[in-house]
Structure formats: C-alpha cells, structure tokens
Structure 1
Amino acid sequence: MSGILDLTDNVALITGAGQGVGRQIALHYATHGADGVIVNDFFEERAQAVVDEIRALGGKAIAAAGDVTDLDAVKGMVRRGNEAFGRIDILVNNAGNAGAMPDPEARKPFWETGPGAWNSFIGVNFYGVINCASACIPSMIERRRGRIITIISDAGRTGEAGLEVYSGAKAGAAGFTRAIARSLGRYQITANCIAIAATMTPPIEARLKTEPERLKKMMEKYVIRRPGQPQDVANMALYLASGASDWITGQTYPVNGGFSFSM
C-alpha cells in the first residue's frame, strides 16, 4: 500500500486491543501496511483472536497478553514485541475503562468507595499509560523516531458525574502525554491524545441494547446523533500514527460526535 497514511516500516503495540476500539486500531494498522502489530490484552484468547484476524488479512501480528498496571508485565510484552519484530515505532495506549478485573464498587460515586475502587480506574488509565511509555520510549529515543497515542475520554476534558476518579485518571493521562511531547520532540517522537465519547464497544453495546431509551436520551447531547463506532476512533489513530501528522504533537483530538466542543 502507498500513500500518506501508509504505515510501512512501522511496528505498533496496541494495549487493550482484544476488542472494541483497540481491535479496530490493530486492524486499521495491519491493513495500512504496518510491518507488525503487537496485540495486547489482559486475556490471551482475546488477543490471539485479533492476531488471527490480522493474519487472515495477510498482516503480521503477535499476541502479547499482560496487565498494563504491572510494569514487569509491560516490559515482558515489549520484549516479546522486540523479539518478533525488532522494534516498536508506535505505542497506542488504549487499555482503559475500569480495567479487566474492576472492583465491584468502581461505578459508585467515589465518596462512597475507597482506594480499591479508585485504583480500578487510576491503575489502567494512568499508571498503565506511564508503564507502557516508560518501556517503549528509550528505544524510540535511540532510533530518533516514534509515535505515542493515548486514548482518553471526554470525561477527562469535561468531567463526568458518577465517574469522578475515571475523569481524573484520564485527565492525568492527557497531562502526562502533553509533558512527554515536550520532552521527546527533539528526538522526532510525537505524543498526542484522542478523546472519545460514547462509542459502541462490546460492553457499552450490550448495556445499551437492553436500555434503548437510555441510548435515545444520551444521543440528545450529540450534534451527530449516533454513538461512535470503533472505526471512527481508529481513523484518527491511523492519522496520528502516519506521516500525515509529522508536525503535530502535544494535542488532544476529540472524536466525539459533537458531544463537546473545544477551541
């Protein structure tokens, strides 16, 4: 494949890529020429299923199961990626929500819970981003090239009632991404965020199918009156990974159907 969105000579690691947005980003990268895709998920079978999809399309991919909140596990999956493909050029911090094994009280208002519930959000959405960045950045600096893309949420930009700690963790991830953008620009490494709103990932789709009135009410807040689809986010992730975005860093791009606006 050729063109400005071509990812030839790039290897990508995508966290939380066993389903939903992460899966679609992995498929987008593979079908736009990536030399390799490292599919991370907490659950090995989900990661492997996406790898099988990519290989069926003629792409190259490996599964790298692991918990992004565990730095040693992250280093292990980065090592597996390097062994398979020799490098990691693109890091997509996609793993999020309340993690693979959320505290059962994580959805309550934070003042009714404690650190166990808070860490469900802070661990994956903030420390997960830091862990993955710390494991990937040194070799990017050595090669003087790289892309870091962090999937945040409009909750991190505008705040979300009932998701107080999640909102804070996503805002923290955005601030961290802006800071590393300043640190890494001299090495030709860019770092940007994509802020998403209600997107039809499997958990959200399952919830809304049983509550159609909730979906209708939710969509009243959106200028484009439909929920997001994984490919909407993957399109922006492809752009930020490609040569089309060489001179863009430290930015947050809302992909949100007009849920919120920003200058």
Structure 2
Amino acid sequence: MIGKDPLDLNGQIAFVTGAGQGAGRAIALALAHHNAGGIAVNDFVSERAQAVADEILALGIPAVAAQADVGDHASVQAAMHFAEKALGPITLLVNNAGNAGPSATMQLSPLFWESAPEDWDRFFHTNLKGVMNCCHIALPGMVKQGKGRIVTIVSDSGRVGEARLAAYSAAKAGANGFMRSIAKEAGRYGITANAISLSTLEPQLSEDELAAFYANDRVKSQLSRYTLRRFGQGEDVAGMTLFLCSDAAAWITGQTYPVNGGFSFAQ
C-alpha cells in the first residue's frame, strides 16, 4: 500500500534495557514513533527510566518505568512481569544495557595479565549475564505468542577485539555468540535474534565539556580511525534497531550489523 510505513511495529510491546539515557533512550523513542503499542523503559536508575517513560507518554504511547539491574535474574523477572501486567505481552526485546555495569564508567583496563579475576565480573554481569537473563525471561512469552524480535547491542571490541578491554571484549563476543544460538533455537517459533555492533558513541557532556573532549589529542587520534570522521549518536543506533524490530527484517536472524562509522568493516 502506498504510504504504508515499512517500519510500523503494529502495536507490539517493547522492553528496552538501559533506556534511561543515551542510545537506549533514542531506541525507546524511535520504537514509540513507529507504532509500538507500549514501551517498558528499563534502567538501573528509576528516575532516568521514569523521565524517558514520561517522554513516551507525552507522544500518546503507553509506557512504564521498569527499574532493574539486568544482571540480577530476579530483578529482571519482577520488572518484566510488572511491564507485561501494565502493557501486555512483550514481543520486542532490546538488550541495550552494557558498558562496565550499572554504576561504573568505561575506561581502559590494565593489560589482561595484570588484571585481577574479580575485575572481570563487572563486565560479564551486565554485558553477558544481563542479556541472558532478559532473554531467559522474555522468550517463553514470545514462544507462546508465536512471534518476537530480540536485538542485542554488542561492540566492535567483541567483534574484532580491543587491547586493554579484554574482559569487556570477551563479554560482548559472548553476547554476540549467544544471539546466534538463540536465533537457531527460537526461529521455528517466529522469533528473530540479531546483534548490532557499535564503536564509540559521542559522550553526553555539556557544550563546553564536549569542546574540551574533542580538543584532546588522544580523542583526535581516535576519531581519525573512523571513515566518517565522527563518533556515533544514539539515533544512529536507533535506526538499525527499529529496522531489526520491524517486519522489514522478518527474514533476518542470527546476524551482526556493524553500526560504527567505518571504524572497522565486516568480513
């Protein structure tokens, strides 16, 4: 039909993790703008989740804040059950929560052999275990509905490797492989599972802080590695996520899509 939105989500209910800011917020808003029937905005910080849920409600789309630490199975289970009771069955799951965990910031680690085993857990807690927890809880409902889309945000650190980020790279690579396994297990039930591999997104800073950030020689050197000569924005991630959640991607599963400004190329 002429004029039909090929990315129309047809009223499906979405659960987006780490959606209280940055790329997660952009993803949640993109889904809302394309006829999602409701959005559960997950974040470790309840105030951030509620702020984004309020933005979605202002668009006329049902939304709830679903606070949870995705690395805690019981916490995710409670959040998803709350979301389904408020909005309906979840058939869109976006695993966006990541980095170094709910209360830490990303930074380069020591060389792997100089790191302590207890330092690895914070990367696996959110980036791998969090993805597994969310899928473990969401999948039975998707199987019952006979449809579902799972999109997991991974990283070029996991796809091509990155020095001084060995544990993080391993966790993201694990999440990527996990998506392929889920794609094979769940495909017969009308469920797709794909991954988006990111590189650096522009940090959320004030105008003055951002100017200082880009004036740093190390940042300039890093930026020169990007073919498009810029870091990513949340909206760059949201577009591919929306596509993979829509019927336009109905015959795509088990794939990893680099969305990285040309930092690295897929083989």
With normalisation by structure 2, the TM-score equals 0.93
Structure 2 distance, partners of 1:248, 1:218, is 32
Of 240, 244, 247, the residue aligned with 1:243 is 247
Corresponding position: 1:231 with 2:235: yes
> How do 1:159-198 and structure 2 match up within 5 A?
159-198=161-200
Classify the secondary structure of the residue corresponding to 2:257.
strand
| Stretches of structure 2 lacking an aligned partner (at least 5 in a row) | none
CA distance, structure 2, for counterparts of residue 145 and residue 247 of structure 1: 12
2:213 alignment counterpart? 210
Aligned residues: 263
Q: Compare 194-203 and 153-162 and name the one that shifted more.
A: 194-203
1:29-81 C-alpha deviation (Å, 9 max, x unpaired) = 01111000000000000000101111122222100001001000010011011
Q: Which moved more, 1:251-260 or 1:116-125?
A: 116-125
1:143 matched residue in structure 2: 145
Q: CA deviation at 1:8?
A: 2.1
Task: Tell me if the contact between 2:109 and 2:115 (Cα under 8 Å) persists in the aligned partners.
Answer: no
1:207 deviates by 7.6
Q: 1:93 and 1:109 mapped to 2: Cα distance?
A: 28
Give the secondary structure class of the aligned counterpart of 1:76: helix
Tell me if the contact between 1:68 and 1:131 (Cα under 8 Å) persists in the aligned partners. Answer: yes
Residues 94-103 or 178-187, more deviating:
94-103
Residue number among 257, 260, 264 corresponding to 1:260 in the alignment? 264
Partner AA of 1:214 in structure 2:
R
Q: Whole-Å Cα distance in 2 between the matches of residues 90 and 242 of structure 1? A: 9
- How do residues 14-29 of structure 1 correspond to structure 2 at under 5 angstroms? 14-29=16-31
Of 22-31 and 212-221, the range deviating more from structure 2: 212-221
Measure, in 2, the Cα distance between the counterparts of 1:111 and 1:103. 21
Matched-pair contact (CA < 8 Å) for 2:62–2:87: no
Provide structure 1 residue ranges, at least 5 long, that are not aligned to the other structure: none
Q: Are the structure 2 counterparts of residues 52 and 104 from structure 1 closer, same or farther at C-alpha, using a change threshold of 3 Å?
A: closer
Question: 1:123 Cα deviation (Å)?
Answer: 0.5
Provide the alpha-carbon RMSD of the alignment: 2.1
Q: Deviations over 1:128-170 (max 9, x none)?
A: 0000000000010111100000000000011111111000000
Q: Aligned with 1:40: secondary structure?
A: strand
Percent identity of the aligned residues?
Answer: 50
1:100 to partner: Cα distance:
1.4
Name the residue aligned to 1:66. Answer: 68
Name 1:11's counterpart in structure 2: 13
Q: Assess, with a 3 A threshold, how the Cα gap between structure 1 residues 72 and 106 changes in structure 2: closer, same or farther.
A: farther
Question: Hey, which bits of structure 1, 4+ residues long, moved more than 3 A?
Answer: 102-110, 205-211
> Which TM-score applies when normalising by structure 1?
0.94
**Residue 200 of structure 1 aligns to which amino acid in structure 2?**
E
Measured against aligned partners, the alpha-carbon deviations of 1:65-98 in whole angstroms (never above 9, x if no partner) come to: 0100100001001101110112101000000000
